[in-house]
């Protein structure tokens, strides 16, 4: 390698993806050490920094062209030593003049003073903050004011953040293209409306509250009972939208986005309480470019008589009619009783017709208690279906496996907690000519021996997954008194999930 030119060596080093491999190569010679230092533009550090500030200063001096830095203290405990603190961010802001992308994960020692130093990072375009218990709205405002080039902003699990002056400032600046707010209890969906005209440029938006989100006391300050109103906010550039675990009744809140987004390509609506067929039909009518859709639903009390997920086949028909480019579809149903299949608002026929009408390549059915082997027969006629994931589908059995094995282009099949599928059903999959991968998790009637050779690549686990993992829900632990209070709140305010307390 001594005869290779420096530009060629630099190109070789660029193509080495693993950090450990680059570190090893840099020790081969002084020339490679120097070239690697010049070419290294990203680092991911955390518990290995000792002492933290001095070690970071050394790395910044060695790698003068860093533009992406991830500081990650996930899994940290006190015996790992002191975390990077405010002084560390001062070092970072003064040494890394090219810094454009910064992620801080589980940095408990950094507070408002520390992230205030980021105002000196004039090129910063992407800032992700995950679990920063000492950082408040004041610190975020200093970043918003000082970093004029910000286009990506993620705020996750920051419990001290309450007021939203920083959000209003970013909205007025109108530079953000991606905004993610998750698990920040001090920020309600109505606070996010203060982002205002910032929605105009936004291409990706995500808002999620986990835990006991239905008990939030937040109310839309603009809401007036019996008086119709609309938000004068434009978001026609939005391509990706995810709303998870929010309540939209009786106020409008972030629900207004569904009527404003015309460029959507990817949409996630996960346990959004208050949605109706009319809401999503109006959305689908305006979203001809929609390619990916995830719907996660729970049964609610309908007409004070029975329980059913809010959306019905009318939504599926509109989806098939107005979204001809749909390729990825997830339908998840949670808390739907296997004894009452009608609690799933979508019929088996409606789901099959949608798959046959759109070029759906990837399909996930989760908790579809009304879907059985006859439905699998319908899916098998799809020429577009390449990836199928079945989760907690109680009535799909061996005959369903025989049918799905005939799907002409099926390449990937995943079964999770499908308790009616046995070794006999798996044996049918050998007839699937194009099956490349098979994943079996928590299906106790399927043995490891049976899956061997069923596909080119096989993953098998007998371990059962937790309900929250299967359904994408994160519930806060409650005491018995809390459960009683919760049941009363649910029944009085909106009555979701009350299927578990039918006796009332």
Sorting pLDDT into bands at 50, 70 and 90, what band is 184? very high
Q: What is the reported pLDDT for 50?
A: 86
Q: What is the reported pLDDT for 312?
A: 96
Asked whether the bond before 267 is cis by omega within 30 degrees of 0, the reply is: no
- Mean pLDDT, rounded, of the chain: 88
Q: What is the reported pLDDT for 496?
A: 40
Of 60-64, 100-104, 213-217, which gets the smallest average pLDDT? Answer: 213-217
Q: What is the pLDDT of residues 50-67, one digit of tens each?
A: 899 999 999 999 999 999
In sequence order, the 6+-apart residues with CB closer than 8 A to the CB of 231 are 193, 222, 252, 256
Closest to 209 in 3D by CA, of 186, 227, 229, 193:
186
Q: What is the reported pLDDT for 486?
A: 43
Q: What is the reported pLDDT for 228?
A: 59
Of 155-159, 182-186, 226-230, which gets the smallest average pLDDT? Answer: 226-230
Work out the angle between the directed axes of helices 86-95 and 52-62 (0-180°, nearest 10): 10
Q: What is the pLDDT of residues 342-382, one digit of tens each?
A: 999 999 999 999 999 999 999 999 999 999 999 999 999 99
Q: Express as a percent the part of the chain with pLDDT over 90.
A: 68
Q: What is the reported pLDDT for 350?
A: 98
Higher pLDDT, 318 or 479: 318
Q: How far apart are alpha carbons 451 and 272 in whole angstroms? A: 38
In this predicted structure, the answer to whether residue 1 has a pLDDT above a threshold of 90 is no
SS3 string of 281-321?
Answer: HHHHHCCCCCCEEEEEECEEEECCCEEEECCCHHHHHHHHH
Q: Can you tell me whether residue 441 is helix, strand or coil?
A: strand
Query: What are the structural domain ranges in the chain?
Result: 1-38, 371-472, 479-503
Q: What is the pLDDT of residues 126-163, one digit of tens each?
A: 999 999 999 999 999 999 999 999 999 999 999 999 88
Higher pLDDT, 421 or 8: 421
In this predicted structure, the answer to whether residue 501 has a pLDDT above a threshold of 70 is no
In sequence order, the 6+-apart residues with CB closer than 8 A to the CB of 168 are 194, 195, 196
Task: Give pTM, 2 decimals.
Answer: 0.88
Sorting pLDDT into bands at 50, 70 and 90, what band is 465? very high
Q: What is the reported pLDDT for 226?
A: 67
First-last CA distance in the chain: 78
In sequence order, the 6+-apart residues with CB closer than 8 A to the CB of 280 are 258, 269, 311, 315, 318, 319
Q: What is the reported pLDDT for 253?
A: 80
Q: What is the reported pLDDT for 430?
A: 86
Tell how far CA 391 is from the center of its chain: 18
Closest to 238 in 3D by CA, of 220, 263, 268, 213:
263
- Transcribe 212-269 into DSSP letters: SGGG-----TT--TT---------TT--EEEEEEEE-SSS-GGGGGGGT-SS-SEEEE
In this predicted structure, the answer to whether residue 120 has a pLDDT above a threshold of 50 is yes
* Residue 164 and residue 187 in contact, taking contact as beta carbons nearer than 8 Å: yes
Sorting pLDDT into bands at 50, 70 and 90, what band is 31? confident
Q: How far apart are alpha carbons 488 and 414 in whole angstroms? A: 39
Of 38-47, 66-75, 420-429, which gets the smallest average pLDDT? Answer: 38-47
Closest to 164 in 3D by CA, of 131, 198, 115:
198
* Residue 108 and residue 139 in contact, taking contact as beta carbons nearer than 8 Å: no
According to DSSP, residue 488 is labeled H
Sorting pLDDT into bands at 50, 70 and 90, what band is 291? very high
Q: What is the reported pLDDT for 247?
A: 87
In this predicted structure, the answer to whether residue 88 has a pLDDT above a threshold of 90 is yes
- Transcribe 14-69 into DSSP letters: HT---HHHHHHHHTS-HHHHHHHHHH--EEEEETT-SSHHHHHHHHHHH-TT--EE
Closest to 115 in 3D by CA, of 88, 82, 149:
88
In this predicted structure, the answer to whether residue 175 has a pLDDT above a threshold of 50 is yes
In this predicted structure, the answer to whether residue 499 has a pLDDT above a threshold of 50 is no
How large is the C-alpha radius of gyration of the chain? Answer: 26
In sequence order, the 6+-apart residues with CB closer than 8 A to the CB of 181 are 155, 156, 187, 192, 206, 207, 208
In this predicted structure, the answer to whether residue 112 has a pLDDT above a threshold of 70 is yes
Q: What is the reported pLDDT for 250?
A: 66
* Residue 280 and residue 318 in contact, taking contact as beta carbons nearer than 8 Å: yes
Of 18-22, 86-90, 225-229, 262-266, which gets the smallest average pLDDT? Answer: 225-229
In this predicted structure, the answer to whether residue 197 has a pLDDT above a threshold of 80 is yes
Q: How far apart are alpha carbons 472 and 495 in whole angstroms? A: 21
Q: What is the reported pLDDT for 490?
A: 43
Q: What is the reported pLDDT for 344?
A: 96
Higher pLDDT, 230 or 235: 235
Q: Express as a percent the part of the chain with pLDDT over 70.
A: 88
Which H helix or E strand runs over 71?
strand 68-72
Closest to 367 in 3D by CA, of 339, 399, 335:
335
Sorting pLDDT into bands at 50, 70 and 90, what band is 305? confident
In this predicted structure, the answer to whether residue 77 has a pLDDT above a threshold of 50 is yes
Higher pLDDT, 220 or 155: 155
* Residue 174 and residue 197 in contact, taking contact as beta carbons nearer than 8 Å: yes
In sequence order, the 6+-apart residues with CB closer than 8 A to the CB of 121 are 93, 96, 99, 102, 146, 147
Asked whether the bond before 51 is cis by omega within 30 degrees of 0, the reply is: yes
Residue 130 φ then ψ, to 5°: -125, 115
Closest to 416 in 3D by CA, of 360, 346, 472:
472
Q: What is the reported pLDDT for 488?
A: 43
Sorting pLDDT into bands at 50, 70 and 90, what band is 420? very high
According to DSSP, residue 388 is labeled E
Closest to 344 in 3D by CA, of 306, 304, 309, 295:
309
Q: What is the reported pLDDT for 500?
A: 39
Was domain 1-38 assigned CATH 1.20.1280? Answer: yes
Q: Could you tell me the two tokens for 430?
A: 């050998």
Sorting pLDDT into bands at 50, 70 and 90, what band is 22? confident
Q: What is the reported pLDDT for 215?
A: 59
Q: CATH number of 371-472: 3.40.50.300, 3.80.10.10, 3.30.720.110, 3.30.70.1140?
A: 3.80.10.10
Q: Mean of the pLDDT values across residues 23-41?
A: 76
């Amino acid at each position: 390698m001594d005869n290779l030119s420096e530009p060629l060596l630099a190109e070789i080093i660029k193509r080495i993806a693993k950090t450990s491999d680059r570190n090893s190569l840099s020790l081969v010679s002084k020339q490679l050490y120097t070239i690697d230092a010049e070419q290294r533009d990203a680092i991911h550090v955390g518990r290995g920094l000792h002492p933290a500030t001095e070690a970071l200063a050394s790395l910044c001096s060695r790698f003068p062209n860093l533009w992406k830095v991830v500081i990650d203290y996930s899994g940290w405990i006190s015996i790992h030593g002191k975390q990077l603190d405010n002084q560390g961010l001062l070092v970072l802001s003064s040494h890394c003049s090219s810094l454009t992308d910064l992620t801080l994960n589980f940095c408990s020692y950094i507070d408002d003073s520390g992230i205030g130093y980021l105002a000196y990072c004039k090129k910063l375009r992407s800032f992700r903050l995950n679990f920063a218990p000492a950082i408040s709205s004041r610190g975020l405002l200093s970043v918003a004011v000082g970093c004029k080039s910000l286009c990506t902003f993620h705020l996750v699990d920051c419990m001290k953040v309450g007021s939203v002056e920083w959000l209003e400032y970013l909205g007025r600046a109108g530079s953000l293209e991606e905004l993610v707010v998750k698990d920040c209890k001090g920020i309600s969906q109505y606070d996010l409306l203060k982002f205002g005209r910032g929605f105009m440029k936004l291409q990706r938006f995500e808002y999620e509250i986990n835990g006991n989100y239905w008990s939030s006391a937040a109310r839309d300050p603009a809401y007036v009972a019996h008086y119709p109103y609309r938000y004068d906010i434009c978001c026609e550039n939005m391509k990706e939208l995810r709303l998870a675990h929010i309540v939209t009744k009786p106020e409008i809140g972030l629900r207004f986005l569904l009527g404003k987004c015309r460029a959507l390509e990817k949409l996630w609506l996960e346990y959004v309480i208050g949605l109706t067929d009319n809401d999503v039909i109006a959305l689908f009518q305006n979203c001809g470019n929609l390619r990916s859709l995830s719907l996660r639903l729970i049964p609610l009390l309908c007409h004070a008589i029975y329980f059913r997920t809010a959306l019905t086949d009318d939504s599926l028909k509109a989806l098939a009619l107005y979204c001809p480019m749909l390729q990825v579809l997830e339908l998840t149903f949670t808390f739907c009783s296997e004894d009452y299949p009608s609690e799933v608002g979508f019929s088996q026929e409606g789901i099959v017709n949608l798959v046959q009408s759109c070029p759906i390549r990837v399909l996930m059915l989760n908790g579809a208690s009304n879907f059985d082997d006859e439905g699998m027969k319908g899916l098998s006629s799809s020429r577009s279906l390449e990836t199928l994931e079945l989760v907690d589908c109680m009535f799909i059995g061996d005959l369903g496996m025989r049918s799905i094995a005939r799907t002409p282009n099926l390449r990937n099949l995943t079964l999770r907690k499908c308790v009616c599928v046995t070794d006999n059903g798996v044996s049918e999959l050998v007839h699937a000519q194009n099956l490349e991968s098979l994943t079996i998790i928590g299906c106790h009637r399927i043995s490891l021996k049976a899956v061997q050779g069923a596909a080119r690549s096989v993953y098998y686990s007998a371990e059962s997954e937790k309900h929250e993992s299967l359904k994408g829900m994160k519930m806060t632990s409650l005491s018995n008194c809390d459960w009683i209070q919760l049941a009363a709140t649910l029944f009085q305010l909106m009555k979701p999930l009350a299927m578990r307390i039918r006796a009332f």
